[in-house]
Amino acid sequence: MPDDIAENSSGIEEVEVVTTAVGEDGTVVVDDLKALVDEEGNVLATDETIAVETPDGTIVIDEVIAVADEDGNLEVVEEDVVLIDEDA
């Protein structure tokens, strides 16, 4: 979503930040945040995906899409959570 809008709109840029952390127990967390930002630095929309994999192989993926309202506050418009259980 953000790629298409940024490519077709002048003055709007996509910014992406990916953070990875590994806990002492081996749990891996990856946070991938994409944002559409206008020329003034205002965030117009975000698409954040957080993936967590536990040592037992369980994976949880949480994706949240939000857009800015008239006041510039981000409002969640969609959230999807997927659980992949190693035992299933």
Domain ranges of the chain: 2-84
Structure confidence at residue 6 (pLDDT):
52
pTM across the whole model: 0.80
Q: Is the pLDDT of residue 1 over 60?
A: no
75, 48 in Cβ contact below 8 A?
Answer: no
Residue 26 vs residue 4, higher pLDDT: 26
49, 24 in Cβ contact below 8 A?
Answer: no
66, 80 in Cβ contact below 8 A?
Answer: no
Distance CA 35, CA 68 (A): 11
The average pLDDT across 29-52 equals: 97
Closest CA to 41 of 5, 10, 19, 13: 13
Structure confidence at residue 86 (pLDDT):
75
Rounded mean pLDDT of the chain?
A: 91
